Chain A
Amino acid sequence: MIPELGHFSLILALLLAAAQAILPLAGAARGNTRWMAVAGPAARAQLLFVAVAFGCLASAFLSNDFSVENVAHHSSSRLPAVYRFAATWGSHEGSLLLWTLILALWTAGVTLFGRRLPDDMTARVLGVMGLVSCGFLLFMLFASNPFLRLQPVPPDGADLNPLLQDPGMALHPPMLYMGYVGFSVAFAFAVAALLSGRFDAGWARWSRPWTTAAWVFLTLGIMIGSWWAYYELGWGGWWFWDPTENASLMPWLAGTALIHSLAVTEKRGCFKVWTVFLAIGTFSLSLVGTFLVRSGVLSSVHAFATDPARGLFILAILVLTIGGSLLLFAFRAGRVGVGGSFAPVSRESFLMANNVLLLTATASVLLGTLYPLFMDALGLGKISVGPPYFNGVFVPLVAPALFLVGVGPVARWKDARLPELAGRLKWAFAASLATALLLPSVMGSWKPMAALGLLLAAWIGATACVAALARLRSAAAWSAGFYGMNLAHFGLAVAVAGISLVSSYESERSVRMSYGDSVALDGYTFLFKGVTYGDGPNFRAARGTLEVAYGGKPVATLHPEKRKYESSGMPMTEAAIDYGFTRDIYAALGEALDDDSWSVRVFVKPFVTWIWLGSILAALGGLLAIADRRYRVALGGRKGGKA
């Protein structure tokens, strides 16, 4: 009964989404306020029904209702309750439902916080979001229904993929989707602006907090995914340039460009066409990312069972949404008009350069990700593009962009003078140069890539501090946006420092160990104390013990595990990590070898935690920026009132 209720709710949600899309858009075009007024209530009612559908699916999972095909394939009675809940979005169908739920949440958010927008703007924004929602609800109802029943009912389910039975993996998709789908707000605003032909500062100011919020979620989502790969896959790596990782990196890069472009459009009125394009592009890349992951068009560690009909359906959504908006852009962007002028040395031009670099980096990731598909489609053979390409292309593009991160915020709008700029930045530059020259030697040996990374990290960090201190000393009023920006940049610096140090100075050994063997690495000794066996709720585990000492003093005891999940027979590695501010000690069990010995991988990873710490700081910076009261001041639209 409950699954049918969920199915029925989805149908109602589709009807509401259609009403939310058609009536307000037509109303805005014809000036019919009653039609436009449908948007808000329809959006909130749609949220209600999508939430009911999601609740029905979650309850089917929690109550082990194996008559539902989706539950039978992705859960089992021995799965702990928290993962049974997380399994709700562990399948293709469930993750689409989550996607749609999050879209409905963002849409309802616009109706709640968007009350001071002009009515026709609200109507168009909600209408566009309703169209997107229609596409995904149709897809679910016709090609990916999560509520299908199974006959005969199996006694138990096939269990959730063990890779997903992990707190990080339970959190990663919702965060990532909040980011992906959050960019639909900026997209809808851009399309609404193209439809109405109004590109005032209000449009940019309205889009900014939404875009930043989506960016914060996406940053955290990518961070959790990377952290999960680090501790779960057992290879000690934190980024693999896997197609699915790239699918999330591309909207992040474009979204970062969008945030900065929106700032210029709001403050100075220029870059309007560029901003509209980025808003369409960022959400388009989110959709492309969803397509790449969901259609199985690329093989990757994330590969899901797929069928071509589903791929074609998502492709149709993609073509209608992206193709439609890009056509609209081609024909309407001419009306946007030009903004204020600026000198070659000014904050505008620095931000422009940064935008171009970010977009080029996005394009290079897109090319590398899709290159195997292009070759295969043209019959030129099966190839794969790996880290050498991405590192070789991405680093040279990002390095100058990182340098500009230090300059941009300090430069004046419109016209900056180089001598003045140099005067404000000389101490920051000296400090970062000293860091780059000295710090790598402290780490053991001076390496050029580490020095470059540290130079850029210290440069961004120091300039962010200089800018924040100068603002504190001046009489200027407190501005959450300004400090948020500097905090985000500081977080970026921390992450860049972590990436540079761990890439240059990590060390690892892969050895065969039996009881009592020890291995030395980077001054640490790892003593192997054998393996014990035990059972978890739905797996059997071999649990190793490694005693780690530094200079004879015990530092940590690590318990890496090798698990075998009963229902799938899939072996899983649970790495053991001693986290530290300046280094992680990492151990993973490999295979059991013939005699009583095991293959064991040990790593010492300096400053790797800084990558995630930096990402969290950057996300906090974004949150602080959203809190800026400027965004809550009335825009002078037709409606007043407070929210």
Chain B
Amino acid sequence: MRRLIPFAIFIVLAIFFAVGLQLNPRELPSPLIGKPAPDFRLALLHEPATQLGPADLRGKVWLLNVWASWCGSCREEHEVLLDLSRRNLLPIYGMDYKDSAESALAWLERLGNPYAATLVDADGRVGIDYGVYGVPETYLIDRSGVIRHKHSGPLTVEALEKTILPLAEELLRCFNPQPTSFIDCKPADG
């Protein structure tokens, strides 16, 4: 039955397609995972006089969400972020990437503000340190300031429930009195 060969080849191809759909071609493993979050100090969107950076957030498990008012898919994840902030599980810090302050403020005004604070990265310098290549991106950072997870693209409920929140819970549970040594408190992979 050599005429079945094209069919067989196609079925193999279709299986690869089905597997491929579960993968995200844009999800490149970030070299920053397991490394200390690059340090910065940025002005706050709502209080331009105040500056904030990862150093101030030592001891907290927090999410860094890179967004911009010009970014269409940020609108998609916004509901997810709002919902998460209402649950008070962990603070979300926004980083407003390459954006103008007025449109960013208007955007939060209109759609609601899920962020504990929003940092302004107007020229995208900090974004370069974090290897931001598409907005939105979300980083999970542990008590000792180490990046534990990176999510590229709009945050989904599924990614939140299955990956980010379990990981965050584990990070919250393992309290380490010496925040600089993070090696002995490594969460399980995943």
Q: Interface on A for B, CB 8 Å cutoff? A: 73, 158, 277, 281, 284, 288, 291, 295-299, 303, 305, 308, 311-312, 315, 318-319, 322-323, 326-327, 329-331, 333-334, 370, 372-374, 376-377, 382, 567-570
Contacts and interface: CB of A to CB of B under 8 A. Distances in A.
A569 B70 contact: yes
A295 to B, nearest CB: 6
Interface string B18-29: 111111011011
A570 B69 CA distance: 12
Contacts of A382: 25, 28-29
B98 A569 contact: yes
Given A377-B19, A569-B70, A303 B26 contact: yes
B6 A326 contact: yes
Q: Which of B17, B28, B75, B99 has the most CB of A within 10 A?
A: B17
Given A277-B6, A305-B154, A373-B16, 4 more contacts: A295-B17, A311-B21, A370-B16, A373-B17
A296 B70 CA distance: 22
A326 B18 contact: no
A331 B4 CA distance: 8
* Top 6 closest pairs, chain A to chain B, by CB: A569-B70, A299-B25, A326-B7, A377-B19, A311-B21, A330-B3
B3 A334 contact: yes
27 contacts: A277-B6, A288-B13, A295-B17, A295-B21, A296-B25, A297-B20, A297-B21, A299-B25, A305-B76, A315-B17, A315-B18, A318-B17, A322-B10, A326-B10, A329-B3, A330-B3, A330-B6, A330-B7, A331-B3, A370-B13, A374-B16, A376-B23, A376-B25, A382-B25, A568-B70, A568-B72, A569-B70
B interface residue count range (under 10 / 10 to 19 / 20 to 34 / 35 or more):
20 to 34
Nearest to B97: A569
A330 B71 CA distance: 49
Given A326-B6, A569-B98, A376 B18 contact: no
Interface in B36-73: 68, 70-73
A641 to B, nearest CB: 38
A374 B7 CA distance: 18
A377 B76 contact: no
A377 B11 contact: no
Q: Which of B4, B6, B16, B18 has the most C-beta atoms of chain A within 10 angstroms of its own C-beta?
A: B6
B3 A333 contact: yes
Interface of B: 1, 3-4, 6-7, 10-11, 13-14, 16-23, 25-26, 28-29, 68, 70-73, 75-76, 98-99, 154
Contact of B99 (A370, A376, A569): A569
A570 B98 CA distance: 10
A308 B28 CA distance: 18
Given A73-B72, A311-B21, A326-B7, A299 B26 contact: yes
B106 to A, nearest CB: 10
A67 to B, nearest CB: 16
B14 A319 contact: yes
Nearest to B158: A308
A315 B21 contact: yes
Nearest to A327: B7
A297 B17 contact: yes
Contact of B72 (A158, A295, A296, A330): A158
Contacts of A376: 20, 23, 25
Given A298-B25, A315-B21, A376-B25, A323 B16 contact: no
Contacts of A334: 3
Contact of A330 (B1, B26, B29): B1
Given A158-B75, A377-B23, A323 B70 contact: no
B152 to A, nearest CB: 11
Contacts of B28: 382
Nearest to B17: A315
Contacts of A333: 3
A377 B3 contact: no
B14 A569 contact: no
A323 B99 contact: no
B121 to A, nearest CB: 13
B6 A329 contact: yes
Nearest to A158: B72
Contacts of B26: 299, 303
B23 A291 contact: no
A308 B72 CA distance: 19
B16 A330 contact: no
Of B4, B14, B29, which is in contact with the most chain A CB atoms at under 10 Å from its CB? B14
Contacts of A372: 25
A303 to B, nearest CB: 7
A370 B7 CA distance: 18
Contacts of A158: 72, 75
Contacts of A298: 20, 25
A373 to B, nearest CB: 5
A291 B20 CA distance: 12
A284 B9 CA distance: 13
Contacts of A322: 10
A73 B75 CA distance: 10
B14 A377 contact: no
Nearest to B19: A377
A569 B68 contact: yes
Contacts of A567: 70
Which of B29, B71, B72, B154 has the largest count of A CB atoms less than 10 A from its CB?
B72
A303 B17 CA distance: 16
Contact of B20 (A319, A331, A373, A569): A373
A318 B25 CA distance: 21
Contacts of A326: 6-7, 10
A298 B26 CA distance: 9
The winner among B14, B20, B71, B72 for most chain A CB atoms within 10 A is B20
A373 B14 CA distance: 12
A291 B10 CA distance: 14
Contact of B16 (A305, A312, A319, A377): A377
A331 B20 CA distance: 30
A315 B16 CA distance: 11
Nearest to A568: B70
Contacts of B17: 291, 295, 297, 311, 315, 318, 373
A318 B17 CA distance: 10
A296 B24 CA distance: 8
